[in-house]
């Protein structure tokens, strides 16, 4: 395969949600053919620039996945499968990107807040932001306010992403913002929130910087933010 064919094949397999050769895709007859892992490694061996793989294969394919999700052609598990492909590709590419002098866009602490164990949305956002060039510090689920603040301090992170899927836990997001203010960190950290019960008006109410309806929205919002 030449370079363009390789880049197209990587993008195609991200959309198909195929991490490795043994994975099935949405289309028939793909099992046994190279998946994202094999194709990314082949592209690097062939001298394709890692940054080009990110832009041409990963970013464009996830835009397509986002469009399919918007049209209800893809469900959350389908999007998660594609996001997993991007995560695996970024793990392979990260050392090469560093060598090539591609700088991280900044450290991003992400967590599902205390009392809440839902993580599918958070995981998709984390993988997508990793693919977009952010250094992700994923604290997992049911994370206390103290631990979130501690991670921001320890990593000197300019971004926080908070997720909640319950009306009973979304209030914890406001506590995080208050604690940032108490610690004198609020002006140096952008707070993004998301999850089913949250909204732009709730973000405004608790003093967060932005509400993001999904991972694609988060990437768009971050493009407008300077820290």
Same domain, 93 and 112: no
Residue 150 pLDDT grade (very low, low, confident, very high; cuts 50, 70, 90): very high
pTM (predicted TM-score): 0.78
Report residue 226's pLDDT band, with 50, 70 and 90 as the boundaries.
low
My answer on whether 174 and 83 are in the same domain is: no
Tell how strand 159-163 and strand 210-211 pair up. Answer: unpaired
Say if residue 207 is in the same domain as residue 115. yes
Condensed to tens digits (0 to 9), the pLDDT of residues 174-218 reads 999 999 999 999 999 999 999 989 999 999 999 999 999 988 889
Cα(210)–Cα(125) distance, integer angstroms: 14
Q: Which among 71, 99, 127 is the end of a domain?
A: 99
Are 13 and 60 in contact, with CB atoms under 8 Å apart? no
- Which of 107, 162, 114, 130 has the alpha carbon at shortest distance from 59? 130
Model pLDDT for residues 89-118, shown as the tens digit of each residue: 988 998 888 788 778 889 999 999 999 998
Q: Is the pLDDT of residue 227 over 60?
A: no
């Amino acid at each position: 395969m030449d370079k363009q064919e390789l880049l197209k094949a990587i993008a195609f397999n991200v959309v198909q949600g195929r991490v490795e050769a043994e994975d099935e895709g949405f289309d028939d007859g793909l099992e046994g053919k190279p998946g994202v892992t094999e194709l990314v490694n082949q592209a690097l061996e062939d001298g394709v620039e890692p940054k080009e793989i990110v832009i041409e294969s990963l970013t464009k394919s996830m835009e397509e996945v986002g469009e399919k999700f918007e049209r209800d052609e893809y469900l959350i598990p389908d999007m998660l499968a594609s996001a997993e492909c991007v995560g695996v590709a970024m793990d392979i590419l990260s050392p090469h990107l560093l060598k090539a002098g591609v700088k991280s866009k900044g450290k991003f602490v992400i967590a599902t807040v205390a009392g809440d164990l839902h993580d599918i949305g958070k995981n998709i956002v984390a993988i997508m932001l990793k693919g977009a060039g952010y250094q992700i510090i994923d604290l997992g689920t049911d994370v206390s306010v103290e631990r979130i603040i501690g991670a921001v301090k320890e990593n000197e992170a300019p971004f926080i992403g908070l997720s909640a899927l319950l009306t009973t836990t979304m209030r914890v997001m406001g506590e995080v913002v208050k604690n940032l203010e108490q610690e004198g960190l609020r002006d140096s950290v952008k707070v993004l929130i998301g999850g089913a019960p949250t909204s732009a008006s709730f973000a405004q109410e608790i003093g967060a910087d932005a509400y993001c309806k999904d991972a694609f929205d988060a990437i768009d919002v971050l493009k407008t933010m300077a820290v």
